[in-house]
Amino acid sequence: MTKKEYRETFDEEEAVGWLAIDKKVEEVYGTQNPRHYASVLRYVLGGNDPLDGTSIYDSEKQEFHRHFVSYGMSELYYNEDAVESEFSRWGFEFTFRLKPFEEDEEDPVWIIEVMNNLARYVFESGNWFDENHFVPANGPIRTNTKAEIDIVGVAFTLDPELGTISTPNGKVSFLQMVGITSAELERLKANPTKTEVKALLDELRKDNPLLITDLTRK
């Protein structure tokens, strides 16, 4: 698509990238209305959260879980300069699949803060995440809990249902964050290669194809 075609196809007020994400998610969830949590003030306007918003879907696939999809790591809005870009802004959005946790009486929005912390790192450092990267959480991924949680980091893989899409603003991969235990984190620290991360994730997939994070897993 050329800039001329872009201008003729889209309106300047149109959220071109956002709509492309919605279209892909609708292939999985149809007409389900997600619970959407928007940032109070956009990051470009001085807000603290890089993500413009995060949607939470209820999934019955494999076992009931909540599926989070972020909006803000890719180019969400009308931008003629993005037309010829290979990647849409950072080239990815975060996703996360969480098995219900007994202390989460309402939507587990703490995940959105975890996503924003990771997004803030990307925006401030200029370093981005990719498939088979991993990052420690410097403690349990969920704080303020009575339970002993051993999920202390996340590894990244391509979301098995959302994958990668081509948008008018460039390519977007849906990077799923997968909770890893302290033993798994130490294993990856000892051999911090994409090959080792992939090997670990492939082992987890055998019993957990969608790589749903269970906070009670040890």
pLDDT digits 0-9 by tens, 103-161: 898 999 999 999 999 999 999 999 999 999 999 999 999 998 988 999 999 999 999 99
**Beta-carbon count within 10 A of 189 CB:** 12
The answer to whether 108 and 101 have CB atoms below 8 angstroms apart is: yes
The answer to whether 198 and 132 have CB atoms below 8 angstroms apart is: yes
Strand 87-98 and strand 164-167: the pairing is unpaired
Burial, 176: exposed, middle or buried (Cβ in 10 Å; 0-12, 13-18, 19+)?
buried
Low-confidence spans in the chain with pLDDT less than 50: none
Enclosing H/E stretch for 174: strand 170-181
Residue 47 is predicted with a pLDDT of: 75
Residue 45 is predicted with a pLDDT of: 64
Residue 76 is predicted with a pLDDT of: 97
What CA–CA distance (Å, rounded) separates 25 from 11? 22
Residue 22 is predicted with a pLDDT of: 98
Residue 206 is predicted with a pLDDT of: 97
Residue 146 is predicted with a pLDDT of: 86
- Name the 3-class secondary structure at 55: strand
Residue 44 is predicted with a pLDDT of: 67
Residue 142 is predicted with a pLDDT of: 95
